[in-house]
Amino acid sequence: MGVTSQAVLPASLWAATAAKAPTYAPSGSVSRADVAVVGAGYTGLSTALHLAKRGLNVLVIEASEPGWGASGRNGGQIISGLKFEPDELEREFGDRLGPVMVSEMGSSGSLVRSLIEQYQIDCHARFDGWIHAAHGDKPMREIVGPRASQWKSRGVSTRVLDSAEVARMVGTPAGLYAGGWLDPRGGVLQPLSYARGLARAAIEEGATIYAYTPVRSISRSAGKWRLNLGSSEVIADRVVLATNAYTDDLWPGLKQTVVPVTSFQVATYPLPEDVRNSVIPGGQGVTDTRRLLHYFRLDHEGRLVMGGRSPVDDNPTMDDAAALTTTIARTFPQAASAPIQFLWSGKVALTKDSLPHIHVLDDGLFAALGCNGRGVANCTMIGKVMSEFVAGARADDLPLPVTAPDPFKMHAFRKIGVIVASQYYRLLDKLESK
């Protein structure tokens, strides 16, 4: 990412339990690259890894450290596919692009799994599935049923779950959820360890990674891109901006194409064994169908992790955790008294259409951003797609559309807009809830 005032990795469960980071190159050790990637989250690291595998000279430049942003602070749920039903995507994008988009993004979880296995990434990954739990009868009919059915028609062994099955598989009170569906492609992992594992894999393939090196400006001269790092400069043929929710003013107007919203999480101390055995005993990640969704799982040491939206920015306090501790008590009464050990927040990049965006900003200057809360699998796949594009694939041959930047109007007032929208969505969720 570009210049930032926060370089230290924020305290979180993931920062406390992550695998050791690889050794990054000293800033200034490389002055020339085929491709410079700005931002070392999943998108940037996956782009770099796949480009390096093609034999290109790749430099990743990160203002903090790989995984500093959402890639090291998310819920660690592996969710394949985009937020829209496959049929809807195919109607919207047509007979050529639609099915390819559905298939490619639907296999994003498989890509994560293959990279973990190929590079022996130590991130406590489990591929036991993902449960999408319906918070009421209407979302059960309108979201869960169609989504499970449409993926099943495309060869995925989905299962529709009734209310009793969700209660049994998740460990929630009877009737709390109207039902749900099980996606066998899903799973969970330690997100910061995964980011560090991708970084290590990219280095193994020949990429160079700078940490704690803000890019202060980029400019084009004599057909090359010049990246000003303050005390040094990098010249690159092509540049990829992969800064997502932490996009700044490095390139004019790009920041205005996404709205960053805060995702807030808490984690208990490791649960007692008898309680742990009753909370998501199958090890799946779970997300509900609320517009202001809740998502939860157990970590590899038996902590219950609960997440949701929050108006709080970075550095939340225990006072900010009240809503999520209430949600824990309602969702898992058996864990209601479990004390909170960690709490943290991070930014999620939302786009106007809730789809990820790939842009060509100038000759040889690319951007990819806006994973809308599904970053673990989607950003990994988007990085692979970006590597193909940057390496010379035609836009028409990609499994995602290449679009012009579409900024939000009145972006400067986005925080007010997020608050107003959140209140409205909270009301709708309440009206639909069981």
On whether both 64 and 142 belong to a single domain, the answer is no
On whether both 237 and 161 belong to a single domain, the answer is no
On whether both 158 and 73 belong to a single domain, the answer is no
On whether both 247 and 375 belong to a single domain, the answer is yes
Domain boundary among 166, 184, 202: 184
Strands (E), 90-189: 130-134, 159-162, 179-183, 187-188
On whether both 174 and 42 belong to a single domain, the answer is no
Q: What is the mean pLDDT of the chain?
A: 92
Q: Does some domain include residue 364?
A: yes
Average pLDDT over residues 170-195: 98
The confidence score (pLDDT) of residue 426 equals: 55
Domain boundary among 165, 184, 203: 184
Average pLDDT over residues 265-292: 96
How far is the CA of 162 from the CAs of 159, 173, 180, 182, in angstroms?
10, 13, 7, 11
Query: Could you tell me how far CA 434 lies from the centroid of its own chain?
Result: 29
Q: Does some domain include residue 150?
A: yes
Q: Does some domain include residue 324?
A: no
pLDDT one-digit tens code per residue, 136-148? 999 999 999 999 9
Of residues 426 and 51, the one with the higher pLDDT is 51
* Number of Cβ within a 10 Å radius of residue 360: 15
> By mean pLDDT, which of 1-15, 61-75, 232-246, 302-316 is the weakest?
1-15
Q: Does some domain include residue 339?
A: no
When pLDDT is cut at 50, 70 and 90, the band that residue 315 belongs to is confident
What CATH number does residue 18 fall under?
3.50.50.60
Cα–Cα distance, 263 to 320 (Å, whole number): 12
pLDDT for 287 beyond 70 = yes
| Residues 255/412, Cβ–Cβ less than 8 Å | no
The confidence score (pLDDT) of residue 360 equals: 98
Q: Does some domain include residue 7?
A: yes
On whether both 232 and 148 belong to a single domain, the answer is no
Single-letter residue type at 418: V
pLDDT for 433 beyond 80 = no
The angle subtended at Cα 112 by Cα 41 and Cα 18, nearest 5°, is: 55
Q: Does some domain include residue 329?
A: no
On whether both 160 and 114 belong to a single domain, the answer is no
Of residues 79 and 417, the one with the higher pLDDT is 79
- The residues near 117 (Cβ < 8 Å, ≥ 6 apart) are none
Q: Does some domain include residue 381?
A: yes
Question: Structurally, how many domains does the chain consist of?
Answer: 2
Average pLDDT over residues 84-99: 97
pLDDT one-digit tens code per residue, 218-274? 999 999 999 999 999 999 999 999 999 999 999 999 999 999 988 899 999 999 999
Domain boundary among 167, 184, 201: 184
How far is the CA of 27 from the CAs of 30, 51, 59, in angstroms?
8, 21, 11
Range of the domain at 179: 130-184
* Number of Cβ within a 10 Å radius of residue 227: 22
| Residues 369/406, Cβ–Cβ less than 8 Å | no
The confidence score (pLDDT) of residue 412 equals: 58
On whether both 119 and 196 belong to a single domain, the answer is yes
On whether both 366 and 416 belong to a single domain, the answer is yes
The confidence score (pLDDT) of residue 230 equals: 95
On whether both 135 and 113 belong to a single domain, the answer is no
The confidence score (pLDDT) of residue 414 equals: 52
Q: Does some domain include residue 206?
A: yes
Q: What percent of the chain stands above pLDDT 90?
A: 84
On whether both 37 and 111 belong to a single domain, the answer is yes
Of residues 279 and 316, the one with the higher pLDDT is 279
On whether both 43 and 86 belong to a single domain, the answer is yes
pLDDT one-digit tens code per residue, 357-404? 999 999 999 999 998 889 999 999 999 999 999 999 999 999 999 999
